[in-house]
Structure 1
Amino acid sequence: MGWLMNTWRESAAGRELTALTDRLGRIGAAPALLPVGRLAAVDQHAAAIRDILTLGAGGVSQAQLAYYARGVHDAARDAGWTPPSAEGATTDWVILRLAAVCLLATAGAAVGAELDPALFS
């Protein structure tokens, strides 16, 4: 029965990450929409997230990425952060961090697949 719960968790996380990518896309901050210079910054954030999750959580899965994104958003909101307008979205640290989560999720889009850290070395 554990496999079913894991499959459900990964599926729900995938939907959550897809929704996050869609929300970022509406303000022009989805990874596919970013200019090259900003994409380099997102790549740096992705490397940091990958290291955090690999060392702390034991792996980078869709569920771990969704949990991490929620944590970043909740901590930012608790600190008084509000989402920027579309003009400032691509320079906002929180937005870039969330875009990095989406980038990692896209790289490991297979439901339930653990991402190989060597892919990002």
Structure 2
Amino acid sequence: MDLNDPDTWRWIWLIAAVVFAGGEIAIAGSFFLAPFALGAAIAAAMAFAGVDLAPQWVVFVAVSAVTLAAMRPLAHRLDRHDLVPGVGSSRQLGQEAKVLEAIDGPHDHGMVLLGRER
């Protein structure tokens, strides 16, 4: 494998893009490898277009860094663990509600406000 051969770098970038994308798919919810997959894919396109190696590296690093910086807030928001536990009415156990209509008797109905739900 001759690293000075432009044909070699076409395949190196393409394989790197596939490996990064596969790693992103395998690691659920990280959004860490996706920017590198995008950077490698763009560098591969540049290599197939005949662009020199130095600009390929510059574009790979720049695209990866910008995309990583842009995706980190999204990844942090998706990785939060303060989500409401439970499903259906079980997620409301232990919460306080505001009484809107009191229950007058054992067979009557009332209404409460729990968060934004009635």
- Larger strand percent: 2
TM-score, normalization: structure 1? 0.30
If you compute each CA radius of gyration, which structure gives the higher value, 1 or 2?
2
TM-score, normalization: structure 2? 0.30
- Larger helix percent: 1
